[in-house]
Amino acid sequence: MHRIHLATAALVASAALAHPASAQLERGTTATIQPGESCPAGMTEVRPGRCQAPEFAPPSIVDYRPESTLVAEEHLVPRAKFPAVDFHGHPGNIVNPEALAELVSAMDELNVGVMIAANNVSGESLVQAVEAIAASPWPDRVRVMTGIDFSDVGPGWAERAVAQLEADAAAGAVAIGEISKSLGLRYRKADGSRLAIDDPDLDPVWEAAGRLGLPVFIHTADPSEFFEPFDNTNERWLELALFPNRRYPQDEFPSFEQLTEERDNLFRRHPNTIFVTAHLGWHAADLGRLGRLMDELPNLYAEIGAVLYDIGRQPRGAHDFFVRYQDRLLFGKDSFQPNEYPYYWRVLETEDDHFDYYRDYHAYWKLYGIGLPDEVLRKLYFENAVRIMPGLPQTGWPDA
Ligand SMILES: [Zn+2]
């Protein structure tokens, strides 16, 4: 018992060294600072230029749980206003009839009209999935994307990959993806070098996607903070401290800027192929940047999954962005957690103020509704998806 205690104490001590702001200062300690300087660790600026330590040991960021005193109107939205296509679906087993029945009943409650499985399924597994859906009582509720295997890119790879895409398209795939962040971060070529996202050896595949009318759904990099130094100024400190595999140290991985530049080159080189950048391209905290990219590239679309915390903290800017790019945005949720969808509906459909998000470690702040008009909601939820994927049910959607 004693030994465990010591080990814990040692861990705490090393964490305190790495993050000196957790040091407790003596009561009443003060300091003065010059304009542009920040207070010493453990103090806060109480008057211009004057820093002071709190009288009591401050709670850590995991223990500080302030309860909002704001009383404001609440409009909970358990069901989407219009049937939504979940472009970024990761449902579990869709081949098993019972699992499929469960999925469809969860979709009914949320008003998700079509779930697109973005699980990189190809060949025989894809055929099995498509057949199971077609034979079920819900042939129009689920669609499947095909995938691309990026291992061993080298001579002969492109011919095989294109032939597989053609077979998967004929079998009923409606898009390609999700191309994972491993493209750029981890895949190596047959010769051992890093496979760049814009490697010319991949070109025939992207061209084939355009020819076959399959949009390419691609996840590149991760939030830019994951590539930044892991210190007290990092907005995702808690998440990075919880999940070591989200840290991309500069000496081991390409930078966020390099990855996004390779991605954008890829989009530029294939103007006849539709690309859908996942998670708003990880530019949800800089929508101006994403907007400039979309202005330049008419073949670029963006999916909104897993960045609700950024959309909901800029209700006016996000509203204007969604209105301006209403023809190029797709609803997607990413991980299939039915109880999380209503947070999306509430942010997108209401003008509610200052409400909780479902994950503290992503976002220590609150969300606001961006109040999109019906015309924009319809496009975001289903019209854009139905337009760019002929393999989706083309009828049965609500009239305007
Ligand atoms: Zn995904």
Question: How far away, in angstroms, is 86 Cα from ligand 1 center?
Answer: 11
pLDDT band at 24 (very low <50, low <70, confident <90, very high): low
Question: How far away, in angstroms, is 118 Cα from ligand 1 center?
Answer: 7
C-alpha to C-alpha distances, 113 to 18, 99, 141, 278, 335, nearest whole angstrom: 49, 17, 6, 20, 17
DSSP state for residue 68 in the 8-state scheme? P
50-101 per-position pLDDT tens digit: 999 999 999 999 999 999 999 999 999 999 999 999 999 999 899 999 999 9
Question: How far away, in angstroms, is 333 Cα from ligand 1 center?
Answer: 8
Three-point CA angle 70, 79, 324, nearest 5°: 80
In sequence order, the β-bridge partners of residue 194 are: 188
Give residue 11's pLDDT. Answer: 36
Domains of the chain by start residue, with CATH: 2-52 (no CATH), 84-388 (3.20.20.140)
- pLDDT (average), residues 198-216: 98
323-374 per-position pLDDT tens digit: 999 999 999 999 999 999 999 999 999 999 999 999 888 889 999 999 999 9
- pLDDT (average), residues 299-319: 98
Question: How far away, in angstroms, is 303 Cα from ligand 1 center?
Answer: 11
Question: How far away, in angstroms, is 173 Cα from ligand 1 center?
Answer: 17
The pTM assigned to this predicted structure is 0.93
What gap in Å lies between CA 132 and CA 76, rounded to an integer? Answer: 35
